[in-house]
Amino acid sequence: MNTIAEALEQLRAGRPVLVADSQSRENEVDAVLSAELATPATVGWMVRHTSGYLCAPMTGERADHLGLPLMVPRSQDTLHTAYTLSVDAASGVTTGISGHDRSRTANVLADPAATPADLVRPGHMLPLRAVAGGVRERGGHTEASVELCALAGLAPVGVISELVHDDGSMMRMADAEPFAAEQGLVLVTIEALIAELDARGAAPFSSPRAVGEWNPDRVTRVAQAHLPTRHGDFTVVAYRDLRTGAEHLALSAGAVAEALDGPARGTSQQRAPQQTAQGASQQPVQGALQQTVPQQGAPLVRVHSECVTGDVFGSRKCDCGAQLDRALELIAAQGGVLVYLGGHEGRGIGLAEKIAAYALQEGGADTVEANVARGWDPDLREYGAAAAILRDLGVRQVRLLTNNPDKVQALAGQGIGVDQVVPLVVGVTAQNIDYLRTKVAKMGHLMDVESMLGVVDAGDGPVLGRHAGQGPVSERHAGGSPVSERRAS
């Protein structure tokens, strides 16, 4: 067995090293290359001696910079390997599969100057996203290869593939040692790498030299326009999520919209639609407006998860459509932002799966039980994109329209201060009362559903529901720990 120092020396020389994980994990040995130094010869060697399924591990920030969302929103891989969309280099390749072409793609993935436009999707290499805590959080070859490249002073992007025998079976440690000796290669373990990092006191993916300015932001601003609605006039900005590929919207009114539109905005409904330059759409947002939004009082903000059945079709199974309407009314009147998050259908399971969960609810399951029965967690949503959008709009403090403590905690964890939590309890119907009770009892939502029940509509008339901040449900201040307040149902 070799030392980590020997492995780093080999990586700097552009040679592959062999890395073994624990016998209790995959019990596999991967060949690891620096993507920065990959050549047709070294990639060709990997194809001959491995499965040929070449992956390119990198940090999540690097994947975001290159516009590489996860291949699927929820991985069913037992080891939670974070595959992104496959890629080829956009230039300098033919079919993309040869050793020359895949080494070219690896070089592009490691190039700090590369942009999303330098790659085509799909392709013949599989980028992988390493977890933020590195190999000490997840002891996989993905994280190990990125850590090794960083320690070697190279771009923290690797190329990896599993060693196999001539008959195609996996090569284990017992066979990897004689193979390494035969090939003149260095063999190390992930356990030894973790010990080396601990001895150095190194942060995850730390490098002795800086490798480019890789922007870690989450979203790209794509377009901007004026949007008159039945609730009022808004400025709408479209965003693309660099992590998931989803599209999001921000509808703003008042000071935030004025900062977006500049002096020409006024109050006229004759504003011409605006769109960012095509080139700018390729760059992550930089929060350029943060100094232009007036700071006297936090704007009203709603982070709304997309719900086609409720928002578009007016479903009475949920309160989403009623919440969307009321939030837009309040924001139009008071000023603020509604962030509409794509990819959140059915709390993240998708539209078709949500309909399948509805069928289970008709058989007696509640909304949480139905998602779990379909093989999903109760709630797969996360709100990093919402925080990134608010930062781009110059919003650092908010009055948050929500009943969901997870949203309060998520925004606060991303540096968005929540000055006040404004309850949004509307749209109670005979068809969704049990759904709302479940959200309180099992998901900790902060709303007094029972206080809404003077008369519950069971037909086609208006639904019952006091508006946000009215009646027995009062505004709660985030500083007074409202997130921990849970009503017993």
| Cβ–Cβ under 8 Å, residues 341 and 386 | yes
User: Residue 32's beta-bridge partner residues?
Assistant: 17, 160
Neighbours of 444 (CB within 10 A): 16
Please check if 305 is assigned to a binding site: yes
Please check if 304 is assigned to a binding site: yes
Please check if 425 is assigned to a binding site: no
Catalytic residue among 111, 241, 379, 392: 379
- Ranges assigned E (strand) in 35-153: 55-59, 87-89, 119-130
Catalytic residue among 102, 129, 381, 391: 381
Taken as a whole, the chain contains a residue count of 489
Q: What is the DSSP letter of 477?
A: -
Q: Where are the alpha helices (DSSP H) in 230-294?
A: 255-261
Q: What is the CA radius of gyration of the chain?
A: 26
Indicate the pairing of strand 397-401 with strand 300-305.
parallel
d(CA 229, CA 432): 27
Please check if 124 is assigned to a binding site: no
Please check if 444 is assigned to a binding site: no
Q: For residue 232, what are the contacts with CB-CB under 8 A and spacing of at least 6? A: 253, 328, 329, 332, 333
Amino acid at 413: G
Please check if 320 is assigned to a binding site: yes
- 406 catalytically annotated: no
Please check if 399 is assigned to a binding site: no
Please check if 22 is assigned to a binding site: no
The secondary structure element, H or E, covering residue 159 is strand 158-162
- 460 catalytically annotated: no
d(CA 178, CA 436): 63
Please check if 437 is assigned to a binding site: no
Please check if 149 is assigned to a binding site: no
d(CA 179, CA 171): 9
Q: For residue 481, what are the contacts with CB-CB under 8 A and spacing of at least 6? A: none
* Site of tokens 């400025």: 235
* Site of tokens 């959200």: 439
Please check if 129 is assigned to a binding site: no
Q: Which residues are catalytic?
A: 379, 381
Residue ranges for the known binding site for GTP are 302-306, 323, 345-347, 367, 402, 407
Residue ranges for the known binding site for Zn(2+) are 307, 318, 320
Residue ranges for the known binding site are 302-307, 318, 320, 323, 345-347, 367, 402, 407
